[in-house]
Amino acid sequence: MKPDNPNMVAASTATMTRVKAAVLAGVLVAFAPGIVLGQAIEKKGTTPYVTHFIFRPLMNIDIADLGTATSLEAVGTTENMKGEKMFDKMSAHCTALSVASGEKKYIDGACVLADNDGDKIFSTFDTRDVDKSQPEMGCGTHIITGGSGKYKGITGSEPFACIAMPALSGPGGYTAMDIPHNTTWEIK
């Protein structure tokens, strides 16, 4: 049966075009996550990234003329400096102990980075462990000790620098710092 009205033919053609576009969009939405999630990450590399941290003092021991010890919590996000996926847009959560007594001044701690999938990378750090081959990263070194999900089996070394930021306003002794890292990592 052939419609007599040319407007009906145009409307029917426009409707079919919209239906085809909707079906195509649905197919792309259905398969795109599988394509993205199915991408394998590299098994090793060297990655420069920076973590934008806020530090919160949790507890402080301050003995005049003898020394101080402060437990700290740090939270922030990472940014891959080459625009790559590895170590980019991850949440960072660390705990640390800052000690200053006589000639001794150091910060030791541990951090976990988590990506949007909930996969994690765990590391310890020590500001006394400085990689002398990278003097621009003279603040200390993270040692990657393991990971979960896509990072299972990851190890590595992360010399880092410390870039102080302006003081944060308000009470509580909060401070900010950018921490650039030059990470050499491998997943086995």
CATH number of the domain residue 144 falls in: 2.40.350
Asked if residue 18 and residue 84 are part of one domain, the reply reads: no
Asked if residue 128 and residue 112 are part of one domain, the reply reads: yes
**Confidence (pLDDT) at 4:** 57
Structure pTM?
0.77
Answer positive or negative: Cα dihedral of 32, 76, 109, 139.
Answer: positive
Q: 116-155: per-residue pLDDT in tens?
A: 999 999 999 999 999 999 999 999 999 999 999 999 999 9
**Confidence (pLDDT) at 39:** 54
What residues of the chain score a pLDDT lower than 70?
Answer: 1-40
Q: Contact at 8 Å (CB) between 159 and 134? A: yes
Three-state SS at 35: helix
Asked if residue 56 and residue 20 are part of one domain, the reply reads: no
